Amino acid sequence: MSIRSQVTGPQPVAPSPQRADHAKDTERRWLGLLVVCLGVMMAFISVTATITSLGSIQQDLHISTHTLVWIPSAYSLAVVSLVMSAGTLGDLIGRRRVFVSGALVFAAGSLGAFLADSPAMLITAQAVMGAGGAAVLPTSLTIVSTTFVDPHERTTAISAWAACSGLGLAAGPLIAGALLEHYSWHSVFLTNLVIGAVAVALTPLVVRESKHPSRRLDPAGIVLGTLALASATYAIIQGGATGYTRTPILISYVVFALSLALFVRVELRHHDPMLDLRLFRSLPFTAVMGVAATTMFGFVGIALLSVLYMQRVTHTGPLGVGVRMLAMFAMFIAVSAIAPRLVRKTGFTALFTIGLALMGAGALLLLTVGPFDTYGAMWPGLLVAGAGSGLLVAPSTAAAVGSVPPLQAGMAASAVNMARQLGNVLGPSVLGTIVTSHFTTSLHERLLNADLPAPAADQIVAGAAHGGSATDLPAPAARIVADAVPRAFTDAMHLSLLIAAISLLTMAVAAVLLVHRRTQHPQM
């Protein structure tokens, strides 16, 4: 041994170039996850921030209720219609490229919404934002699922992706409420403009480009799939506002049926289809799509009903609503963080069943909320529903992506996003329609039972349906209305919550029967 080694002891071993490169690669992957999650947050902040701002928008632009429905719905229609096509485009020309393009389009739509001075301009801007969201959502998920190849790391990364969607949903009402306290509704849309700009700037620095190595264009499938989704979504949204038996709605359903039939025929014959329908031969894969759709049906539906109750019955302000909804959204984020560890221990079947059962239980707990109760009666149901949804969003996404061969990860990501967005549309449309129709019927009956003349009852019901108040009524009639409106709305909310609970619990039974403990590649 040399004198130098005796004096100084063993010299530290320099890290190998391979180890250093691996550390840099790991750091870049997680930084890339953070950046794409910004895009996801942007897409979900828009949903709840817009809903929170509707009252101010309606008051400022003097929009009818029929037109007001289309402000958030234009966004949903664009996302649902284009999400599969955008996922395919990402496979073809590059997921990072489509993600950045989607973020740019979203930011442009946000700027248009900020500058909007008419209902038509605002609805158009929302549709542009939806087109951007349709590009951001599937490509961000595919980037995550292809960047993290280790199954455990992938589930953790997808959970972070899903938690950011919950963070966006939670942040939307808080941001909108805080801004509406001091500024006009236009300011709400500046938030996504800033987030979009940051995502566009950072993505090229930390996210690697990736493509499907052999994907080919399927123009007929893209056109027919988009037409089928757009016509069905339009019929659901517009039918909820005007009635499902009107001629335009019936025509939309015919267009949907024809385009869907042609889509199935084309996709089964195409050598490289936009959506490989053979994936649905696997009952677990099909069940996971059902779980994803039902989760968002219940999650968004329960959230919307709770927001409407606080706005119309307890007359809580926008910021107060956002703070109170944290019971649901914060629990969703917290449980999403531990979902990856839970799924390793229990498997998908148990987690899906428990999650859906908890969401159903949360909806049933909200049935105990009365027309004159305080927030203390609401938060347990919101907490339980949030916990259940936290067990579902990330694992259902991981199960869908993990149940297909690696080269079909992008297709699976687009499919599960499509299912989730369909649930996102169906929840507000179906449950909201039930609330609206049952509320007016129940209120009319209560007013007549209180011996109000029928013409006066009709006028009051029409005003209440549009968010009017009883301030201009004589004192005796005002007291009757002040008692009847909360009771009627609570009755309508209970009916919708019961339907949501039944849907969630039915899907929980299906999960037990159809989802395997560990997903495997389906037999093709």
Query: Which of 17-21, 288-292, 431-435 has the least mean pLDDT?
Result: 17-21
pLDDT, residue 65, reads 66
Tokens of 360: 């159903």
Residue whose token pair is 């973020």: 103
The whole-angstrom separation of Cα 450 and Cα 433 is 26
The whole-angstrom separation of Cα 415 and Cα 176 is 31
The whole-angstrom separation of Cα 170 and Cα 294 is 20
Residue 3 in this model has a pLDDT that exceeds 50: no
- Burial (CB count <10 Å: 0-12, 13-18, 19+), residue 202: middle
pLDDT, residue 461, reads 74
pLDDT one-digit tens code per residue, 293-348: 999 899 988 988 888 888 888 888 878 888 898 899 889 888 887 887 888 788 88
Tokens of 414: 């687009």
The whole-angstrom separation of Cα 433 and Cα 441 is 12
Confidence class for position 17, pLDDT limits 50, 70, 90:
low
pLDDT, residue 523, reads 35
What is the average pLDDT across 366-378? 90
Q: What share of the chain is helix, strand, coil (3-state, %, to 5)?
A: 85, 0, 15
Residue of 365 and 519 predicted with greater confidence: 365
Confidence class for position 518, pLDDT limits 50, 70, 90:
very low
Query: Which of 1-15, 51-65, 207-221, 231-245 has the least mean pLDDT?
Result: 1-15
Residue 149 in this model has a pLDDT that exceeds 50: yes
Confidence class for position 22, pLDDT limits 50, 70, 90:
low
What is the average pLDDT across 394-403? 76
What is the average pLDDT across 487-498? 91
Nearest alpha carbon to residue 162 among 318, 317, 355, 12: 355
pLDDT, residue 72, reads 83
What is the average pLDDT across 384-407? 81
Residue 16 in this model has a pLDDT that exceeds 60: no
Nearest alpha carbon to residue 196 among 276, 105, 90: 105
pLDDT, residue 460, reads 75
- Mean pLDDT across the chain, nearest whole number? 82
The whole-angstrom separation of Cα 515 and Cα 212 is 28
Residue whose token pair is 């999400």: 83
pLDDT, residue 470, reads 54
Residue 459 in this model has a pLDDT that exceeds 90: no
Residue 94 in this model has a pLDDT that exceeds 70: yes
- pTM value is 0.78
| Buried/exposed code over 420-439 (b: 16+ C-beta within 10 A; e: otherwise) | bbbbbbbbbbbbbbbbbebb
Residue 4 in this model has a pLDDT that exceeds 60: no
What is the average pLDDT across 93-112? 93
Q: Angle at Cα 129 formed by Cα 385 and Cα 111, nearest 5°? A: 120
The whole-angstrom separation of Cα 78 and Cα 67 is 17
HEC profile of 124-152 = HHHHHHHHHHHHHHHHHHHHHHHHCCCHH
What is the average pLDDT across 454-458? 75
Structural domains of the chain, with CATH: 27-212 (1.20.1250.20), 219-271 (no CATH), 276-524 (1.20.1250.20)
% of the chain residues with pLDDT over 70: 89
